[in-house]
């Protein structure tokens, strides 16, 4: 995929700027949960998309899941919030301090001793033959990496992908390298006006395989293709949203996405997810990508829930009346 393609596609999106505030809010909320869910899932976190949303948006505890998995969700969401505050800067202004800050947020409360610090021990990637740099070399390699970011003259999408690859290959931390690298990639994309790129859970094996192939001296093309497709998907999500098109995850307009349902009834996505988890709402269909779709009949059901809540019925009492 040629990088000029992304320039032209971004120009299409730029024609709609400034985007409506409500639309930006909805997209930000979706990307925040989706990136948190997928990035953690790639690293082995077992939280579902819905559980991730409940923890991040509602502050709820999910039974049967570890404290670390809960912290990984909240920490990653907080890291995204921090990243968004940096997007008015330039990629060449990024520093080691910024990368350490991202890592510190990701591992807060999980591994405070190593959070925000380069590793001091040798590490291996489980199941891989890739030999990672000696820990004594990490500080110099990171200094060289930052100099590279300051001097690189690449298309923003290529630079973001290259930065991701180089950081994860240096593997400067004892844990959290992948999540930090993916956030670094996204901070570079957003600094250049692109939406965040999401590597899907379903692409996990292809992603790991493409990275390993390049790290063992093979071509980087598979890796760059995978990242390019992720960027393209995100641009499509934004363009379809601003153009008012129905997302491909819906079925002929008969079923409603969670955001569409929430808008119809004046509730937040988080509330719809919570009511679904509490079995107040029924999911009509789950797509291959894991998106929940609702029947329009749920609109009347929600209005009944809203009325019962105003009358101060408990959740259990509401369930009995539905």
The 10 Å Cβ neighbour count of residue 110 is: 16
Alpha-carbon distance of 82 to 31, in angstroms, equals 14
Residues assigned a catalytic role:
171
Alpha helix (H) ranges present in the chain?
3-14, 21-42, 49-58, 67-84, 96-107, 138-151, 156-170, 177-191, 204-215, 221-242, 258-265, 269-277, 297-310, 315-321
289-312 burial, b at 16+ Cβ within 10 Å, e below that, comes to: ebbbbbbeebeebbeebeebeeee
Closest to 251 measured CA to CA, from 216, 289, 282, 225: 289
Alpha-carbon distance of 299 to 136, in angstroms, equals 60
Measure the CA dihedral 99/102/104/108, to 10°.
Answer: -170
């Amino acid at each position: 995929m040629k990088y000029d393609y992304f320039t032209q596609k971004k120009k299409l999106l730029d024609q709609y700027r400034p985007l409506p505030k409500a639309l930006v809010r909805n997209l930000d909320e979706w990307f925040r949960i989706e990136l948190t869910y997928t990035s953690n899932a790639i690293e082995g976190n077992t939280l579902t998309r819905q559980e991730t949303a409940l923890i991040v948006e509602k502050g709820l505890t999910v039974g049967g899941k570890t404290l670390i998995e809960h912290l990984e969700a909240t920490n990653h969401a907080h890291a995204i919030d921090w990243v968004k505050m940096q997007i008015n800067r330039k990629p060449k202004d990024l520093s080691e301090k910024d990368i350490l800050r991202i890592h510190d947020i990701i591992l807060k409360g999980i591994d405070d001793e190593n959070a925000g610090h380069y590793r001091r021990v040798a590490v291996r990637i489980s199941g891989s033959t890739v030999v990672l740099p000696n820990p004594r070399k990490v500080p110099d390699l990171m200094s060289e990496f930052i100099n590279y970011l300051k001097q690189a003259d690449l298309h923003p999408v290529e630079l973001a992908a290259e930065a991701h690859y180089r950081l994860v290959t240096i593997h400067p931390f004892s844990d959290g390298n992948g999540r930090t690298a993916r956030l670094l990639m996204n901070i570079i994309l957003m600094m250049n006006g692109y939406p965040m790129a999401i590597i899907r859970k379903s692409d996990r094996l292809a992603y790991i395989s493409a990275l390993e192939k390049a790290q063992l001296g093979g071509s980087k093309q598979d890796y760059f293709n995978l990242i390019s497709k992720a960027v393209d998907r995100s641009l499509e999500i934004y363009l379809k949203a601003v153009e008012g098109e129905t997302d491909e995850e819906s079925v002929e307009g008969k079923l409603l996405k969670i955001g569409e349902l929430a808008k119809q009834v004046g509730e937040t996505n988080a509330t719809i997810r919570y009511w679904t988890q509490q079995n107040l709402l029924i999911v009509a269909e789950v797509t291959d990508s894991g998106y929940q779709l609702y029947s329009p009949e749920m609109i009347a059901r929600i209005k009944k829930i809203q009325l019962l809540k105003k009358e101060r019925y408990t959740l259990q009492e509401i369930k009995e009346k539905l």
